[in-house]
Amino acid sequence: MGEASWRIVSAVTISVDPRTGLMQPARQVVSPNRDERPGGALPELFVVHGISLPPDEYGGPWIDRLFTNTLPPDAPSVHPFFATVMTLQVSSHLLIRRDGQYVQYVPFHLRAWHAGASSYCGRERCNDFSIGIEMEGSDELPYEPAQYRALSNAIHALCRAYPSLSPEHVAGHNDVAPGRKTDPGPAFDWPRLRALLRLPRG
């Protein structure tokens, strides 16, 4: 990304309406893989994921198609990996593309199906009380600077909209589902994110 494009992305104002659960300027793609949070649970945790479809390939329609249950029957002919995800019903609240652009699939006050069997600080079923944010990338390849800036901006905007959230409560998918999931992977620069969130070095 060129310097001029980077400045444009950095200058975008992020706003979240807590009544609708929608973020601006995210592109909205409605996923059916969502439901109400149980018992009036509030979002209290950010779970950071990494995703690329097919693996290690970026761009294209495939993440949208996965999260909307619209992968075509012949998708495995495009890449064999699709055979492993054809029947999944999964989603996330937000995707951050390689250039820092946002795609939203589920309103933030609803439950997205992103973490699966999971636990955070002894509390099970992280989907109930978390916001799932996908970073377009893979475990071993560096994420883009624009993505870190977009992620930190989104976290700050969500904390302003939902007082139950804190930038101190951010975990990787691998943290809440250890042994089952590895994303966002060793290539994810947690110190960089903490610095952008203005948190003490951990």
124 is catalytic: no
CB-side exposure of 143: number of CA atoms within 13 Å?
31
Residues contacting 14, CB < 8 A, separation 6+:
23, 24, 25, 153, 154, 156, 157
- Of 3, 44, 134, 140, which residue is the catalytic one? 134
Of 154, 139, 153, 52, the closest CA to residue 97 belongs to 52
- Residue for token pair 């970073």: 135
* Extended strands (E) in 52-141: 94-96, 102-104, 111-112, 119-120, 123-124, 130-136
Spatial distance between the Cα atoms of 17 and 116, rounded to a whole number of angstroms: 26
Taking a C-beta distance cutoff of 8 angstroms, is the pair 107, 28 a contact?
no
C-alpha–C-alpha distance, residues 160 and 164, integer Å: 9
d(CA 2, CA 74): 37
Positions marked catalytic: 134
